[in-house]
Amino acid sequence: MMFSITEHIEFLMTRHDCVAIPGWGAFIANCSPARYEEDSATMQRPRRIIGFNASATHNDGLLAQSLMRREGMTYDEAMRFIADSVKTFRQQLAKDCEVSMGRLGYFRRVKGRYIEFVPFMRANGCDQYYGLGDLSIKKVAALEQEPQAAIVPQGRNLFVRKAARVAASVAVLIGLGIMLTTPITIDRGNQQLASMAPTVTAPQPQQLSVTVEQEAPAPTVIPVEQPQQPTIASVGNESGHYYMVIATVRSQHELEKFKKKYPQLVPLMKLLDYKGMKCVYVARSDDSDLLMSLRDELPKALRDIWIYS
């Protein structure tokens, strides 16, 4: 099986406020409307944060129906797959004290005594709040207490505008007077007057003065090297606490079949032993969010990755 119930839970949480995993617990969406914070003078955006209730272990059928619809399983096969996944979660939690739930968050064992679910702050589990941010809004009473700029009375503004128009008119009249009263001298010494006798005047040679200006050297443009964005290949698959798992196979035959389907990823593929299965991963890092941000480089069918730690 090259899929996990985590991707089904992520999908269901975008459409339901509660998704139960039989034998494990239930993910619950806690919604809060927009509200105004007096202390920070901020209008808080509406929020939908994913929580977890370990006591709600009943079966609401949503997860099984999702497996039946997408993976083509029967109801009994879906329930067995959910039970095996829960068993795997418990084994991983006992071994590593942490279980990743994809883009929703992760479970961790605190001091070996109890289990805590830590949701990611950016995981609203719903696209309707995507892009909304908090808005800074001050009350009218607070604005009235702020120092105001000096206001010039309206009468003074009217006087200034009238004075400016009068000054502009005077300047135009002075300019017209200078232009009309200045005499224009016409030099008739070199002009040719009309005569009854034909006169042939040879053209006088003229000296052409040419000034060549030295062209300034072109400025040297030094290209600014843009910072290179990280890629799956640049992150590498040699070290790191978190693994970008793209598939889980049970046999060498399944592995070879997967490689033929995605030959462009074969140079990046490595295997990880996991409870009798082989996890195929292509990158490792100590930053799980970085690995999640690189999933768009994968083919569309593989973008629901599993971050394993």
pLDDT digits (tens, 9 = 90+) for 169-211: 777 677 766 665 655 554 544 444 443 344 444 455 555 454 5
- Which range, of 46-50, 94-98, 184-188, 239-243, averages the lowest pLDDT? 184-188
pLDDT digits (tens, 9 = 90+) for 197-208: 444 444 555 554
- Which range, of 120-124, 222-226, 280-284, averages the lowest pLDDT? 120-124
pLDDT for res 220: 64
Structure confidence at residue 81 as a pLDDT band (50, 70, 90): very high
Is residue 82 domain-resident? yes
Nearest Cα neighbor of 63 from 27, 26, 19 is 19
Q: Identify the domain boundary among 103, 122, 139.
A: 139
Is residue 69 domain-resident? yes
In the chain, the number of structural domains is: 2
The residue to which tokens 């929020």 are assigned: 47
Residues 1 and 132 in one domain: yes
C-alpha 92/C-alpha 274 separation (Å) is 9
Counting residues of the chain whose pLDDT is more than 90, the rounded percentage is 12
What DSSP string runs through 200-250? --PPPP-PPP--PPPPPPPPPP-PPPPPPPP-HHHH-SSS-SEEEEEEEES
Q: Is residue 91 over pLDDT 60?
A: yes
pLDDT for res 124: 46
Round the CA-based radius of gyration of the chain to a whole number and report it.
Answer: 39
pLDDT digits (tens, 9 = 90+) for 112-158: 667 888 887 654 455 556 566 677 777 777 677 776 654 545 555 55
Cβ atoms of residues 79 and 22 within 8 Å? yes
Is residue 156 domain-resident? no
Range of the domain at 266: 230-309
Residues 134 and 236 in one domain: no
pLDDT for res 197: 41
Cβ atoms of residues 270 and 229 within 8 Å? no
Residue 68 amino acid letter: M
Q: How many CA atoms lie less than 13 Å away from 160 in the CB half-sphere?
A: 6
Is residue 157 domain-resident? no
pLDDT for res 192: 44
Mean pLDDT of the chain: 76
* Average confidence (pLDDT) over 94-109: 87
Q: Identify the domain boundary among 96, 116, 139.
A: 139
Is residue 68 domain-resident? yes
Q: Identify the domain boundary among 139, 169, 199.
A: 139
